[in-house]
Amino acid sequence: MSRLWLTVSLLGCAQSARPAVNCPTVPAAGQPTVVCPDGATLDGARGVCVRTRVEEKVACPVGSTWSGTECSAPISTSCPTGMHFEELRGCVPNLEMATLPAAEPHGRAASFGTEGVRYSWGNGTLLQSDDGYVHLWNGGGANPVAIELVGASNGWWRYAGAQGDEYEVWSDGSATTQSMDGRPWLDSSSARPDAAPVVGSMTFGSKEYRWLLAVDHDVLRITTSDGNPIKLRARSSEVTFDGQTPRPTPSGARASGSSGGFGAVGAHYRVGKWTIARVADGNVYLWFGDTGTPPAAVEFIAESNGWWRYRDAKQVAWVVWSAGGYDKEFFYNEPWKSGVTAQRAPETATLDFGKDRYDWSLKVDHGRIEIVTSGGDPIVIDANKPTVTFKGSVVNPK
């Protein structure tokens, strides 16, 4: 830093024959000395009062500039290869996410789970058909251990044992006798299966229900649409569901809580012009009329928390919510098409049904049918009329 001394004329006066401004007169010899203002001195040579002002001039190092408060070097945002500039940090290394290599299949399969393509896995075979079904079976022959997964299912599936026994497995782990819809192992196709990947997965199902099937070396895990696990091993015929081996329950066992045997699974009961049926999955149906398509029907889902379904004379199905609102829906089953002959229901009878923490109750009392939902709301049906009343109002969705 250097200092520059400047002498500034304070009053701007000098001797002249005719001064331009009113300046003090330089005294002649013997005359009184001119007095200047505070901070100024008399420049005798020029005859003016002057004041000295000190100015500081900062000299910064080469490559830096004065900012008014300090010397600072110029900032460059260019960085070496492999680095990038960040505010307040300067040049920092680039970080790249590692990309994991995709699992390579053993055989020709380019996309695991392609519809219509068979995949070999251990001693088993896997096939996803174009109708939304996935079948897995262990070994060959007419009766292999097999499972059938239904994409549109809300969690139930089917199992076939080595003795030819077949049944439906429910979300709660219970099972009832039920034949499989398909048996692709009986197909005499000579095409050699593709090998399943060592590690890989596939998803399938409907818009409402999604299933996941994952292969991890010699273990195959299936997550049902309601989150329950099915587990298989590549060299074993054992199938476990939620840690247990599926076992069928005796016929009618799911109808416990009924009076006088009323409500047995698969049986139909007549009350006036209405028919009552409880199907294998535990759900209960009522419909009006003797033959053909019923003009009114209801569907009660055992694991529902209070909602149910109603189908009108135009065959439009609706879900009826606990609060009383409606939305278009569909029925899971149409048991009136089964051809089962209905037996007469008792004059008074009770059927308690439901799953998990949801309890439903159906009561028959001399031509009057009342259903109490798991939410405690009453549904009343006159045995001789095709009308359904919910919370005191006739159900009439539009």
Co-location of 257 and 380 in the same domain:
yes
Co-location of 297 and 328 in the same domain:
yes
Last residue of one domain, picked from the residues 57, 73, 103: 57
84, part of any domain: no
For the four alpha carbons of 179, 180, 186 and 187, in that order, the dihedral sign comes to positive
Co-location of 155 and 225 in the same domain:
yes
Co-location of 347 and 218 in the same domain:
no
The DSSP bridge pattern shows strands 83-86 and 71-72 to be unpaired
Domain that holds residue 16: 2-57
List Cβ neighbours of 7 (8 Å cut-off, separation of 6 or more).
50, 52
Which tokens is 159 given? 């199992």
Co-location of 259 and 387 in the same domain:
yes
pLDDT string in tens for the chain (398-residue length): 444 444 444 444 444 444 444 444 445 555 556 678 777 777 777 777 777 666 666 677 766 777 777 776 666 777 777 777 777 667 767 654 333 334 333 333 347 778 888 888 888 888 888 878 899 988 767 778 899 998 888 888 888 887 777 888 877 777 777 778 888 888 766 567 788 888 888 888 887 788 888 888 888 889 887 777 888 887 778 888 877 777 665 433 333 344 446 888 888 999 999 999 998 878 899 999 987 889 999 999 988 888 999 999 999 999 999 888 899 988 988 999 888 888 888 888 899 888 767 788 999 988 899 999 877 889 999 999 999 999 889 999 98
Co-location of 269 and 308 in the same domain:
yes
What pLDDT score was predicted for residue 310?
Answer: 96
What pLDDT score was predicted for residue 90?
Answer: 74
Co-location of 183 and 287 in the same domain:
no
What pLDDT score was predicted for residue 118?
Answer: 87
The residue with tokens 């059938």 is 148
Which SS3 state, helix, strand or coil, does residue 69 take?
Answer: coil
247, part of any domain: no
186, part of any domain: yes
Count of domains forming the chain: 3
Last residue of one domain, picked from the residues 57, 73, 99: 57
Co-location of 268 and 214 in the same domain:
no
Distance of CA 184 to the CA centre of its chain: 33
Co-location of 233 and 260 in the same domain:
no
What pLDDT score was predicted for residue 191?
Answer: 64
51, part of any domain: yes
Last residue of one domain, picked from the residues 206, 241, 276: 241
Co-location of 129 and 209 in the same domain:
yes
Co-location of 42 and 126 in the same domain:
no
**Distance of alpha carbon 282 from alpha carbon 244, whole angstroms:** 21
151, part of any domain: yes
